[in-house]
Amino acid sequence: MKITILTPDLSSNSLGRAYLLAKILQRHYKVEIIGPIFGEGIWKPVAYDKTIKYKSIKISGNFRPYWQIIKLIKQIDGDIIYASKPLFSSFGIGLIKKLSSKKPLMLDIDDWEMGAIRENYRGLSFAQYLKYIVKSTLYFYGLTSIWNNLINEKLVSLADVITVSNHFLGKIFGGEIIWHARDTDHFNPNKYDKNLLIEKYKVDGSRKIILFLGTPRIHKGLEYLINAVKILQNDESILYIVGLEENDGYSKKIENIAKEMLGNRFRGFGLQPFELIPEYLYLADIVVIPQSKNSASVGQIPAKVFDAMAMAKPIIATKVSDLPEILNGCGWIVEPDKPEELANTIRYIFDNPEEAERMGLKARQKCIEKYSFNTIEENLLKILKNMNKKLKNLH
């Protein structure tokens, strides 16, 4: 059996979830990922991986994308279609293919897209909001178009099966939870040598590394994290931010704030291939997931929490979405947007290294048991098996 996974943009981090599903499913099925390319090539963190087959169409112009995206329908030849995100350039073309060919359609929802839209236009003036509505209408295919998000969200019930990444999305859309999983054989701290990595990345071994790993976004609490590190006033600690995007305005803003407030107690790194992520994590003394609480974050689980768990790291996260449940018994939870509380928790972990190590080991064990490729693979296979039974009964 062949599965075609649809992603709304092969050139952005929206590919991350589709890539994860493909890595798990290709253990048992033929799998390919199809989607448009709005930017420059395949998203850099996964572009190196030649085990994944991609089919794409480069998108250009203002109005040509409508029929450029539609052309992707002809490339869908899987026995099952699995669309990532309820957006026109993935779920939308999946629906058209389902209606024209009777192929079964699954939909995966890993973020609350309308929540992010609401957060984006919350601070707009009336003139800015009106401009945004007009632009959303003209460029319906755009990933940030309110109409693209709203209409496709209303159509999710047309999918034969729905999977989601957390409980919040499950309450809205129903479906089975498929957590962001990690290959705990690859993310294994026993495979790495700290001295070699210190030399490779020119790390000052006398400093304790506080690590943020991920794509900088306003709701991810980076400014609050920078403030917390400043409060520490500890020259022995340094903040690493890994995932700064070269042409992204918010990434540049965060980098400038960190340099101004922390000076040489900050180092920034660009987007990294997935294969190198365990190395950065291995060097970290603490990993922080500092989500702010708003409509963009309540329906999201940062996949990087599972990276850190797999690598047995002490983890601090904020009380947002399912993070308290995920880290229950194996991490520290703080209130969002309270730098003093975060700073005190960082200080506590540094002062109690034995407890920090125990918590990290518990986090890895929990990741192996609940959030590993092997565990999530079992859940996905059950979903596919049940879907096939339902479809056979219908026919």
Q: Encoding tokens for residue 187?
A: 């993310």
Q: Is 15 helix (H, G, I), strand (E, B) or coil?
A: helix
Q: Which domains occur in the chain, in start order?
A: 2-181+373-394 (3.40.50.2000), 189-370 (3.40.50.2000)
Nearest CA to 290 out of 221, 226, 230 is that of 221
Beta-sheet pairing, 161-164 with 266-270: unpaired
Residue 263 — φ and ψ, nearest 5°? 60, -125
> Residue 84: enclosing H or E segment and its boundaries?
strand 80-84
SS3 of residue 218 by DSSP: helix
> Using CA atoms, how far apart are residues 88 and 82, in angstroms rounded to an integer?
14
Tokens of 70: 């539609």
Q: Other CB atoms closer than 10 Å to residue 96's CB: what's the count?
A: 16
Q: How far apart are the C-alpha atoms of 385 and 28, rounded to whole Å?
A: 12
Structure tokens at 94: 């999946």
Alpha helices in the chain (DSSP H): 15-25, 44-47, 65-70, 93-101, 113-121, 126-138, 146-154, 167-173, 194-200, 222-232, 249-262, 277-283, 304-310, 323-326, 339-351, 353-370, 373-394
CB contact at 8 A, 58 and 37: yes
CA 237 to chain centre: 27
What would the two tokens of residue 215 be?
Answer: 């794509």
In order along its 395 residues, the chain shows pLDDT tens digits of 899 999 999 999 999 999 999 999 999 999 999 999 999 999 999 999 999 999 999 999 888 899 999 999 999 999 999 999 999 999 999 999 999 998 999 999 999 999 999 888 887 888 999 999 999 999 999 999 999 999 999 999 999 999 999 999 999 999 999 999 999 999 999 999 989 999 999 998 889 999 999 999 999 999 999 999 999 987 789 999 999 998 899 999 999 999 999 999 999 999 999 999 999 999 999 999 999 999 999 999 999 999 999 999 999 999 999 999 999 999 999 999 999 999 999 999 999 999 999 999 999 999 999 999 999 999 999 999 887 776 666 55
In DSSP terms, which residues pair with 182 in a beta bridge? 372
For residue 143, give the amino acid letter: L
What's the CA gap between 325 and 252, in Å, rounded? Answer: 33
Sign of the Cα pseudo-torsion (253, 109, 170, 363, in order): negative
Q: Is the pTM of this model over 0.85?
A: yes
